[in-house]
């Protein structure tokens, strides 16, 4: 029986979510499987990979063949490198402690790269948010200035109207007193 490590699709239409499974190569894509090794969510940035490292390594050592995408995932997580190092230990190229030291060094470097990328994405998001907030603040200032100008113009017009009404009332009083004085 040819055993494959492959992806089984789940999730909504146009929003795929995958289970990493060990299955007979003749079984349908989303059909029967032997064991579930983890999950892969490509919808997040960076993609979320949850993998049972020891079980994946065990299946690779038994001879399971990963598909291209699963090979990339296993390589990213370091399973293939660990298998490579264990093959060197089996051949006597180096000791198991040396292999473990090499693997830990590689994992530290890999985690550093991943955290740097995550930090960069977060800082880019923060700077984009700051720029958006600054643009909104500028627009709000312009709107407030325009509203203040309209209010000032309305107040000036109201004052002019009140002054005109007062002048008209004074003129009427003066006009009413003048005919009374003539009689």
Q: Which pLDDT tens digit goes with each residue over 120-132?
A: 888 877 787 888 8
Lookup: tokens for 139: 């627009």
Quick: pLDDT tens for 150-179. Answer: 998 889 888 888 888 888 888 887 777 655
Match 């000032």 to its residue by tokens: 152
Q: Taking residues 2-12, what's their average pLDDT? A: 93
pLDDT band at 133 (very low <50, low <70, confident <90, very high): confident
pLDDT band at 182 (very low <50, low <70, confident <90, very high): low
Q: What percent of the chain stands above pLDDT 90? A: 49
Quick: pLDDT tens for 63-94. Answer: 999 999 999 999 999 999 999 999 999 998 88
pTM of the prediction?
A: 0.65
For residues 41 and 15, give the distance between their C-alpha atoms in angstroms, rounded to a whole number.
9
10 Å CB burial of residue 59 (0-12, 13-18, 19+) is buried
């Amino acid at each position: 029986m040819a055993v494959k490590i492959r992806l089984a699709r789940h999730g909504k239409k146009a929003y795929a979510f995958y289970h990493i499974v060990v299955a007979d190569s003749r079984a349908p894509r989303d059909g029967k499987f032997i064991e579930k090794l983890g999950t892969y969510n490509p919808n997040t940035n960076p993609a979320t990979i949850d993998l049972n490292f020891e079980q994946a390594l065990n299946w690779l050592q038994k001879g399971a063949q990963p598909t291209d995408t699963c090979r990339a995932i296993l390589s990213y997580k370091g399973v293939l490198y660990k298998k490579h190092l264990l093959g060197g230990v089996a051949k006597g190229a180096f000791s198991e402690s040396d292999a473990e030291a090499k693997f830990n060094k590689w994992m530290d470097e890999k985690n550093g790269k991943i955290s740097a990328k995550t930090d960069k994405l977060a800082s880019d998001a923060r700077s984009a948010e700051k720029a958006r907030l600054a643009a909104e603040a500028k627009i709000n200032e312009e709107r407030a200035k325009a509203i203040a100008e309209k209010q000032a113009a309305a107040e000036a017009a109201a004052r002019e109207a009140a002054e005109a009404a007062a002048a008209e009332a004074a003129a009427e009083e003066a006009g009413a007193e003048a005919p009374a004085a003539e009689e």
